[in-house]
Structure 1
Amino acid sequence: MFLVNSTSDYKKPLIAGDADTLGVDAAVEVERYLTFRDNHAETPLVSLPALATEIGVGAIHIKDEGQRLGLGSFKALGGSYAVIRLVLEEAGRSLGRNVDVFELQSPEVRAIAKTMTVACATDGNHGRSVAQGAQLVGAKAAIFVHSGVSDERVAAIARFGADMIRVDGTYDDSVREAARVATGRGWTIVSDTSWPGYERIPGLVMQGYTAIVREALREMQEPPSHVFVQSGVGGIAAAISGHLAVVMGEDRPTFVVVDPARAACIVESAKAGYLIKIDHGEPTVMAMLECYEPSLVAWRVLSRVTDAFMTVDEDDAVAVMRKLANPADNDPAMVAGESGGVGLAGLIKVASDPGMKAALGLDQASRVFLINTEGATDPKKYEELVGRTPESVVANTFERAKA
């Protein structure tokens, strides 16, 4: 499915609150917070000139979030950042003064953090970030996972000391159960999706993702003309598109949201013209994107600044994993998990279709920005789909670089 944005909100300005959440001042603050993380380093912006020539565009740049903060996905920026902000705010209320991030490890702040429990639902990556953030500040974490989350991903979260709670059903079922239990027990819900009456904390999670685009823009000689970003509930796509809209205004790039065909809640909402929940169907291999109801805050942004919405199929996602692991010519190899290369899958699909290309103005001069949103967060699944271990792909990258 491919459709241009025809919603009634298209090209309207972001509402003031969303513009502030995703604006320059907030993004600068995110990057300041990152300087206090022991394992912080900007992730690579990788150029793929051979692939760009192959599909007929001028340039392809991919931000490789598989290397972010030791967690293997872009989610490392959102959940942990929100947890830190919330702990500092609670400390400020308790101590009766402003508490800054440089005080995070002080005895006073850690004593307050120990009284807090943060909770969320996850497909894997967001929960890992929330759990890591809780461990960092000395708070407790309760992470709710649905039946489709692999044991490997559960173990990766549990190693941060989180209590793991299994929930029957889908991601959306786990979101509801997390909210119910957390509310009853006085825990703080740190969700990456939002609903009426619960918007600020998911906004903080999205705010954390603005670091991705700020880092990328600093490295590019020219800003992108096109951006393709995959979407689950919409948070990462809204953060990137919203920040670009604030920073670049009328000169912002053409923005395309890419959904799995089996979990296309953003695309179906665009088709309907308003936020809708879709029915649960057959599971998708793109596990981190298997969501059936958009985030309210994310949809509010995407309906205004997204230019087109599209879906990709299961085979498209797996083919891109393999293409990135086994690149043409001198392009560097990249480890992309099942959901990591979905934006690239969307670009390849558009580039092969004259109608879609024309609708987006995609041509040989186009400069495309993409995000590898995750590395091999389930290494066994990665090897099963790609036919190689993540380690062998990384080793081959080094060998190609030396050649």
Structure 2
Amino acid sequence: MSDSTQSSHIYLNSKVITFENSSSNESFEFHQKLPFYTATPLKAAPITAARLGVRHVWVKDESNRLGLPAYKILGASWATYRELETRFGPFQSWSNLDELKEQLKNIDVTLVSATDGNHGRAVARVAKWLGLKAHILVPDDMMSDSTQSSHIYLNSKVITFENSPANESFEFHQKLPFYTATPLKAAPITAARLGVRHVWVKDESNRLGLPAYKILGASWATYRELETRFGPFQSWSNLDELKEQLKNIDVTLVSATDGNHGRAVARVAKWFGLKAHILVPDDMVHSRQQAIKEEGAQIEIVNGTYDEAVAKSATMAGEKYLVISDTAWEGYERVPSWVVEGYGTIFREVDEQLKIQPDLVAVQMGVGSLASSVIRHYRSLNHTTHVLGVEPMHAACVLHSLEADELIEVPGPHTSIMAGLNCGKTSPLAWPLLRYGLSGSVAVNDNSAEEAMRLLAQDGIVSGESGAAGLAGLLALTTDSARQALGINSNSSLLIISTEGATDPQAYERIVGRSHHTIKN
């Protein structure tokens, strides 16, 4: 029987007694030596007190405890420490985590826990702090994104950044086949639903002949990397002239992808007369795999997640193989930085189309490259636009990193229908911009993404599961406090980046209830 159908059930205990004072508790001193320690706030709740008919109600707010959104880290950390000391101690006196970790470096154990959420994450965080492994068992109903509610983080550390240097990618893209500025569309039905004056949607469902924006970053990054290695190239005005200069270059473009980026790299290889080798996770839907193959690329299916495909692609780098990735790792930052630059064309176009600065931009996040480009543009000097990042519930690596104030990996499997956002590792290149440029971050479930797709369809906009994620994040802002913190009110103008069209047509028709061919603006 469902809990939601039950009335409350009260038991009054007639056997209450008092107990002797507890022995001295050392856990308080222990917790004070852990990262991010500060006492969580005790807040007065006068409205609640009035409702209950009492003088005071005090709420101990555990929504940010030692960098996690729940109190469980207190028990998990102390219990782990005491058990380790009991088995392997005693430990020498220590004053910070590095000193404790040094004493644990030769201990090879795995922390095991069962969880329905917060305790397991806490044990995993303790294992990470102490340099141990963690094995967390969860019930099968915890793995579905659709059963989880949204999770919102508001950033108090937002700053503006120096203006970016002149970006040549816009002029580059204008020389590519099929270039035209993608449309900026009004979405009045969506605006009414959100209670704002305007919602503008930058529709990337047909960008340079592909159904997603990724070709902007892939093309610019590939061109710059080729020129760095084999250039400089002579001036060119069309693709045939550039291709002529590349005809004696024998390299293969390599990329890992969960869909759109890999297809974009394959298309660039086709344009430039090069070969492409694309690595994909084993759960990629057939239609997206087939689209990559039709670009002439060789596909390699990796038995694992997108992040594991990225790791394998990194090992292939060499004289004959150029890795074109939109995420960075140690020693590999040049290409991802050009990917971010390439996305800047979107916002150059928006400036010309909109003429005014939006009050807020909602942007979906995988590894964070697109969000970085948004921040570089809209959080530069003399700009006050808020930026809201949006991720799937179980691949919210940016949100959890913001909460911890350090890069946090979210292990897979990542099974959201927002396939382009199923990433467990934030790009370290993007992290400084995300850390101080996002006004807020929200993780949403699959149901929210589907609702956003249907709502955009009412405004005549075809947006896929990942493409509609920005709107899904806005729909999750249900409290006045969150909207106020992000400056959203009835006079606001909001910008959404619909990053893809119906890249999985069958799924789109199932979710929206009609074919994407019937949606017209």
TM-score range, shorter chain: 0.7 to 0.9
1:82 to 206, 221, 226: 221
Which one-letter code corresponds to 1:391 in the other structure?
Answer: H
- Larger RCO, structures 1/2 (Cα 8 Å, 6+ apart): 1
State the aligned residue count: 370
Aligned to 1:323: 455
Structure 2 gaps of 5+ residues are: 1-150
Displacement of 1:32 in angstroms is 0.7
Deviations 1:242-298 (A, max 9, x none): 12223xx14330111111112101101101101121121451111110000001111
Displacement of 1:116 in angstroms is 1.3
On the 8 A contact 1:88/1:99 being kept in 2, the answer is no
**Segments of 4+ in structure 1 off by > 4 A?**
none
Aligned to 1:279: 411
On the 8 A contact 2:175/2:239 being kept in 1, the answer is no
Displacement of 1:145 in angstroms is 0.5
Give the alignment's TM-score, normalised by structure 2. 0.68
Identity %: 35
Displacement of 1:310 in angstroms is 1.1
Displacement of 1:12 in angstroms is 6.6
User: In the aligned structure 1, how far is the partner of 2:385 from the partner of 2:410?
Assistant: 29
User: In the aligned structure 1, how far is the partner of 2:201 from the partner of 2:443?
Assistant: 20
Q: SS of the counterpart of 1:46? A: strand
Deviations 1:78-98 (A, max 9, x none): 112212222333331xxxx55
Displacement of 1:357 in angstroms is 1.0
1:192 to 326, 329, 335: 326
On the 8 A contact 1:6/1:273 being kept in 2, the answer is no
Aligned to 2:491: 365
2:337 to 203, 214, 230: 203
| Superposed counterparts of 1:2-17, under 5 Å | 2-6=152-156, 10-11=158-159, 13=161
Q: SS of the counterpart of 2:430? A: helix
On the 8 A contact 2:394/2:410 being kept in 1, the answer is no
Which one-letter code corresponds to 1:316 in the other structure?
Answer: S
User: In the aligned structure 2, how far is the partner of 1:252 from the partner of 1:244?
Assistant: 7
| Superposed counterparts of 1:2-401, under 5 Å | 2-6=152-156, 10-11=158-159, 13=161, 23=164, 25-26=166-167, 29-92=168-231, 97-102=232-237, 105-106=240-241, 108-113=244-249, 115-183=250-318, 186-246=320-380, 249-281=381-413, 283-325=415-457, 327=458, 332-350=459-477, 352-394=478-520, 397=521
Which one-letter code corresponds to 1:279 in the other structure?
Answer: P
Q: SS of the counterpart of 1:201? A: helix
Deviations 1:55-104 (A, max 9, x none): 21121101000111111011121112212222333331xxxx55344375
Q: SS of the counterpart of 2:317? A: helix
User: In the aligned structure 2, how far is the partner of 1:354 from the partner of 1:304?
Assistant: 23
User: In the aligned structure 1, how far is the partner of 2:292 from the partner of 2:473?
Assistant: 30
Deviations 1:330-354 (A, max 9, x none): xx4111111111111111221x321
User: In the aligned structure 2, how far is the partner of 1:136 from the partner of 1:268?
Assistant: 39
Change (3 A) 1:178 1:123: same
On the 8 A contact 2:153/2:403 being kept in 1, the answer is yes
On the 8 A contact 2:233/2:245 being kept in 1, the answer is no
Give the alignment's TM-score, normalised by structure 1. 0.87
Change (3 A) 1:277 1:374: same
Which structure's residues are more often helix, by fraction? 1
On the 8 A contact 2:452/2:471 being kept in 1, the answer is yes
Deviations 1:108-149 (A, max 9, x none): 513233x11110000010001111111111111110011111
Kindly name which structure, 1 or 2, has the bigger radius of gyration based on alpha carbons.
2
Q: SS of the counterpart of 2:300? A: strand
User: In the aligned structure 2, how far is the partner of 1:199 from the partner of 1:117?
Assistant: 19
Structure 1 gaps of 5+ residues are: 398-403
User: In the aligned structure 2, how far is the partner of 1:389 from the partner of 1:271?
Assistant: 40
Q: SS of the counterpart of 2:199? A: strand
Computed over aligned residues only, the root mean square deviation of the Cα atoms, in angstroms, reads 1.8
On the 8 A contact 1:73/1:125 being kept in 2, the answer is yes
Q: SS of the counterpart of 1:105? A: helix
User: In the aligned structure 1, how far is the partner of 2:259 from the partner of 2:486?
Assistant: 33
User: In the aligned structure 2, how far is the partner of 1:199 from the partner of 1:322?
Assistant: 38
Q: SS of the counterpart of 1:61? A: strand
Q: SS of the counterpart of 1:356? A: helix
Change (3 A) 1:104 1:363: same
Q: SS of the counterpart of 2:205? A: helix
User: In the aligned structure 2, how far is the partner of 1:98 from the partner of 1:37?
Assistant: 16
Change (3 A) 1:358 1:270: same
Displacement of 1:194 in angstroms is 0.5
Change (3 A) 1:276 1:112: farther
User: In the aligned structure 1, how far is the partner of 2:445 from the partner of 2:412?
Assistant: 16
User: In the aligned structure 1, how far is the partner of 2:330 from the partner of 2:156?
Assistant: 24
Which one-letter code corresponds to 1:2 in the other structure?
Answer: I
User: In the aligned structure 2, how far is the partner of 1:221 from the partner of 1:342?
Assistant: 25
Which one-letter code corresponds to 1:182 in the other structure?
Answer: A
Q: SS of the counterpart of 2:248? A: helix
